[in-house]
Amino acid sequence: MRTFLFLFLCVLGFSVSAQDDFSAVFAKINTDVQENSKAYATLKDATTTIGHRLTGSPNGARAEEYAYKLLKSYGLDVRYQPFKVESWSRLTNETKIGDTNDQLLKVATVTLAHSPVKANVFGELADMGNGMEADYVQDPDKVKGKIALVYLGVLPGSPEGMGSLHRSEKTAIATKYGAIGIIIINVVKGGVLLTGTASVTGKLIPIPAVCIGLEDGMAVKEKLKIKKQFASLNMTNFSGMIKARNVIATVKGISLPEDKIIVGGHLDSWDLATGAIDNGIGSFSIIDMAKTFSKLHLTTKRTVEFVLFMGEEEGLLGSKAYVDVAKATGKLGLVKFMLNYDMTNNPTGFSTTRVEMKDFFTAWGSQIVKLDSGFKNIFSAGAGLHSDHQPFMLQGIPTGGGAGGQLPNNSGPYYHSNGDVFKLVDEQGMKNTVRYSAMLTYALANTATLPVAQQGEDAIKLFLQENKLEEPLRIAGEWRW
């Protein structure tokens, strides 16, 4: 009986897979996007007419309205999902460093998000290396009452294979050991200053946090080897409750309308530049995917929601709001898969948190290869944090997106900086994101049976541990086991 059941399931699995010949629709998507994509043009227009898209700012509200009207113009069913959020923005910042209080010199820095509304601290600097827990436990009192100097990534000469943590997690560790402030050294040459949140919770942190350029920061490290260095961190910031809106365009499913495939990415950006790369190339590609579905009148078994999240940069606030609403209404289990596009460019394969998707993803990918050999059908399975897939993943929802792509025009170093501008964007890279991702979305929405489902609590815990995510989630206060 067991042998018969095994053979039956194998035949069933083959028949399901055999039904997934989407090559004809993939060809239509391919032609339409190559000839009619507007992703590049609309992103250019938005960066020109709106500028940055900081959540809670007038620019953020204009970006929400821009996306809503654009999706409406494509004939889609569009709605806002409003939520209240504690917004943060920078006002003033001055950092000085020197040998004594009388010899402090002003140094270029940028405030890291969720620093206090007002701070004016002076203290001795303590070089805490990579800012990992191991850098503190050797001498737990080294940084107490001082300002921590921490490297953003992994310092040259560190043990091979050493991992790193997010800037917010390094800030949390410094706070835990009694630091009164933190200066984080950027890893990019040329004095590039990086912003981003220093909070693991999306709430205000108790100490001021700033980013200093690589050259200035490493020079301070060298001086610390010779004599004590001191710093003053003087800043003011805004923090208060505001309203923001996710923008959701829906393509209703035919036979399984209650089941959802979510295609999401964050529309918001930091305020130092226009956020063309982070995350204009992702969010405006999503808008163009939705346009393609509408223009080609594509029908799907499952409902597809194209979601532009706000508040990602300030702590995944929009995606957390989406998940909270779905949980409160008992509809989270209807989300069968979440695809996330955050700085995705020119993917050559697909990624996912669930290795069970390999046969499906590569089978669909082989159909894409026949249309374009530039698609290498790469498959990767794993998990990370700090983007809008995270709230879904922590609830056991399968997530995924593009794989194998590279950011255009050496734009990586300008992430979260004043250098993130439209001239870095590559038009064909965006077209590739749109067409391959629209094909993946169509396949997920139409395959007869998905081989994955929402995980239970024990499975989620094991999965996160296997992907070495327990430590950062504990630091963030999001480890619930």
Q: pLDDT (tens digit, 9 = 90+) per residue, 224-249?
A: 999 999 999 999 999 999 899 999 99
DSSP string computed for 427-454:
HHHHHHHHHHHHHHHHHHHH-S--S---
**What's the CATH code of the domain at 196?**
3.50.30.30
Domain final residue pick, 199, 221, 239? 239
Is position 126 within any domain?
Answer: yes
Q: Are 248 and 323 contacting, i.e. CB atoms less than 8 angstroms apart?
A: no
Specify the pLDDT at position 7. 40
How far is 403 from 382, CA to CA, in rounded Å?
11
How far is 468 from 481, CA to CA, in rounded Å?
15
Please check the confidence at residue 167 and state whether its pLDDT lies above 50: yes
Find the domain containing 73 and state its range.
21-83+243-475
Same domain, 44 and 141: no
Is position 416 within any domain?
Answer: yes
Is position 208 within any domain?
Answer: yes
Amino acid identity at 442: Y
Same domain, 251 and 383: yes
Domain final residue pick, 239, 274, 295? 239
Is position 10 within any domain?
Answer: no
| Burial state string for 99-137 with b = 16 or more CB within 10 A and e = fewer than 16 | eeeeebeebebbbbbbbbeebebebebbbbbbbbeebbe
Q: Please state, rounded to an integer, the average pLDDT across all residues of the chain.
A: 95
pLDDT tens digit sequence for 308-342? 999 999 999 999 999 999 999 999 999 999 999 99
**Confidence tier at 18 by pLDDT (50, 70, 90):** low
Is position 14 within any domain?
Answer: no
Please check the confidence at residue 4 and state whether its pLDDT lies above 70: no
Please, which contacts does 61-64 make with residues 24 or more away whose CB atoms are closer than 8 Å?
61/245, 63/267, 63/268, 64/244, 64/245, 64/247, 64/267, 64/308, 64/310
| Among the ranges given (37-51, 142-156, 188-202, 205-219), the one the predictor scored with the smallest mean pLDDT | 188-202
pLDDT tens digit sequence for 398-447? 999 999 999 999 999 999 999 999 999 999 999 999 999 999 999 999 99
Same domain, 204 and 251: no
Same domain, 260 and 137: no
Same domain, 141 and 45: no
Backbone angles phi, psi at 166, to 5 degrees: -65, 155
337-355 mean pLDDT: 98
Q: Percent of the chain scored above 70 by pLDDT?
A: 96
Is position 333 within any domain?
Answer: yes
Domain final residue pick, 239, 269, 302? 239
Is position 4 within any domain?
Answer: no
264-269 mean pLDDT: 98
| Among the ranges given (11-20, 297-306, 314-323), the one the predictor scored with the smallest mean pLDDT | 11-20
Segments of 310-456 assigned E as strands = 335-340, 349-352, 378-381, 399-403
Same domain, 224 and 289: no
Same domain, 177 and 320: no
Helix (H, G, I), strand (E, B) or coil at 122: strand
Same domain, 198 and 265: no
**Confidence tier at 17 by pLDDT (50, 70, 90):** low
Specify the pLDDT at position 8. 38
Same domain, 77 and 99: no
202-210 mean pLDDT: 95
Q: Is the pTM of this model over 0.75?
A: yes
How far is 131 from 241, CA to CA, in rounded Å?
31
Structural domains counted in the chain: 2
**What's the CATH code of the domain at 359?**
3.40.630.10
How far is 392 from 35, CA to CA, in rounded Å?
34
Specify the pLDDT at position 6. 37
451-480 mean pLDDT: 96
Specify the pLDDT at position 103. 86
**Confidence tier at 189 by pLDDT (50, 70, 90):** very high
Same domain, 443 and 418: yes
Is position 140 within any domain?
Answer: yes
Same domain, 148 and 34: no
Please check the confidence at residue 118 and state whether its pLDDT lies above 50: yes
Same domain, 198 and 312: no
Which of 348, 446, 355 lies closest to 399, judged by CA? 355
